[in-house]
């Protein structure tokens, strides 16, 4: 039998979510090896996104089965009011499984998705939303220009040729182009050829400038648009995320980027902040004998195979 009245019945007002939800996906299974610095990377990412984003937002974090140290950090962030919505998954659901929860459950009208290793610059959010709201029929906006596969923005070019000012050229500076690609583990030499043989597409519409292309690692979109593509059925944790890029293009939606770099991939270390990016390629840092041995093809192949096997035993 009930005793008394539920006090919640007398509450007149409830908190309303911000119009924009920033949704961050995190996965750090342990703090050694490949993941040794990733908790520090996550902390830097969170600090940078909050610093002068240009617009207010609520933060949602989906943790995809991380280790106890990472979960404890996130819970503390939530308790201290720096995370508004925290979801702790017992197991790694993969990116597709996490997207199904995040993109459907985020309360904002606009969702700004990010991986947990992205470094943001001031106004990254307001600049992304400006493009989202100015251009019609936008699928997603990424807060950095870089060269993406042309097959994923064919619909964007088709629309722009008929409705906007469209220019082709080398609009991304070489330094900006190289900076991002080095963070993916590529070399300066291989990128010189790619840069010289490819071009950018710049769109101007109603006074707003954007670049053609976007990517799944960071994007801003209307929640109603993203829900058209749910659920994602991915049978691997990674490697199939371009489904979103392809589906949006196939649906005729615009895939756009801001015209200057407001987001940067840090990957799994803080080397970018320490100025280490590209040192090997520029000859600033000599490698020891042991490191050179590890880079020998057959040695590297065997050791990585052993690493992958052990990783699979623990986390598959």
β-bridge partners, 60 = 23, 85
Give the pairing type, strands 165-169 and 200-205: antiparallel
Domain that holds residue 88: 20-265
CA end-to-end distance (rounded Å), the chain: 47
In a domain, 276, yes or no: no
pLDDT for res 315: 54
Instruction: Give the number of other Cβ atoms within 10 Å of residue 286's Cβ.
Output: 9
CATH classification of the domain holding 104: 3.90.550.10
pLDDT for 207: 96
Residue 287 lies in a domain: no
Rounded CA-CA distance 156/150 in Å is 10
Q: Is residue 201 one of the residues assigned to a domain?
A: yes
Q: What is the pLDDT of residue 276?
A: 82
Distance between CA atoms of 260 and 67, rounded to whole angstroms?
Answer: 36
The Cα–Cα gap between 213 and 254 comes to: 8
Task: For residue 143, give Cα distances in angstroms to 29, 114, 217, 267, 312.
Answer: 28, 10, 10, 16, 34
Tell me the pLDDT tens digit for each residue of 17-36. Answer: 999 999 999 999 999 999 99
Does the residue 250 lie in any domain? yes
Residues 34-74: pLDDT tens digits?
A: 999 999 999 999 999 999 999 999 999 999 999 999 999 99
Residue 224 lies in a domain: yes
Output the pLDDT for position 284. Answer: 44
Is 273 inside any structural domain? Answer: no
Sheet architecture: strand order including 200-205: 85-88, 58-63, 20-26, 110-115, 218-222, 138-142, 254-257, 208-212, 200-205, 165-169
Q: What is the pLDDT of residue 283?
A: 46
| Predicted TM-score of the model (pTM) | 0.86
Number of domains in the chain: 1
Tokens 């961050």 -> residue: 24
| Cα separations in angstroms, 16 against 20, 255, 290 | 11, 30, 57
Instruction: Collect all residues with Cβ–Cβ distance below 8 Å to 156 and sequence separation of at least 6.
Output: 201, 203, 212, 213, 249, 254, 255, 256
Residue 194: closest CA among 153, 147, 254, 130: 147
In a domain, 3, yes or no: no
Q: How many CB atoms lie under 10 A from the CB of residue 267?
A: 19
User: Is 1 part of any domain?
Assistant: no
How many C-beta atoms lie closer than 10 Å to residue 183's C-beta?
19
| 235 CB-near residues (< 8 Å, 6+ apart) | none
pLDDT at residue 285, rounded to an integer: 46
Burial 2-25 (b: 16+ CB within 10 A, else e): eeeeeeeeeeeeeeeebebbbbbb
Residues of the chain with pLDDT under 50: 238, 280-286
Q: How many CB atoms lie within 10 A of CB 274?
A: 9
């Amino acid at each position: 039998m009930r005793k008394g009245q539920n006090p919640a019945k007398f509450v007149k007002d409830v908190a309303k979510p911000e119009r924009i939800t920033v949704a961050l996906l995190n996965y750090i299974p342990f703090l050694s090896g490949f993941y040794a610095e990733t908790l520090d990377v996550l902390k830097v990412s969170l600090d940078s996104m909050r610093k002068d984003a240009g617009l207010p937002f609520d933060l949602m974090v989906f943790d995809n089965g991380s280790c106890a140290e990472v979960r404890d950090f996130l819970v503390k962030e939530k308790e201290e009011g720096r995370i508004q919505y925290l979801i702790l998954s017992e197991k790694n659901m993969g990116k597709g499984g996490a997207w199904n929860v995040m993109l459907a459950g985020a309360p904002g009208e606009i969702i700004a998705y990010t991986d947990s290793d992205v470094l943001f610059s001031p106004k990254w959010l307001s600049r992304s939303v400006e493009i989202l709201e100015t251009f019609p029929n936008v699928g997603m906006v990424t807060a950095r220009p870089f060269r993406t596969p042309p097959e994923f923005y064919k619909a964007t070019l088709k629309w722009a040729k008929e409705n906007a000012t469209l220019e082709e050229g080398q609009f991304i500076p070489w330094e900006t182009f190289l900076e991002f690609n080095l963070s993916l583990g590529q070399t300066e030499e291989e990128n010189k050829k790619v840069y010289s043989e490819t071009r950018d597409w710049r769109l101007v519409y109603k006074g707003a400038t954007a670049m053609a292309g976007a990517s799944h690692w960071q994007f801003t979109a209307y929640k109603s648009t993203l829900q058209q593509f749910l659920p994602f059925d991915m049978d691997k944790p990674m490697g199939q995320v371009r489904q979103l890029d392809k589906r949006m293009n196939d649906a005729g939606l615009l895939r756009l980027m801001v015209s200057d770099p407001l987001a940067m991939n840090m990957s799994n270390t803080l080397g970018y902040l320490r100025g280490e990016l590209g040192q090997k390629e520029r000859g600033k840092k000599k490698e020891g004998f042991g490191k050179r041995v590890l880079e020998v093809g057959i040695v590297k192949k065997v050791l990585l195979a052993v690493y992958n096997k052990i990783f699979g035993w623990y986390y598959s």
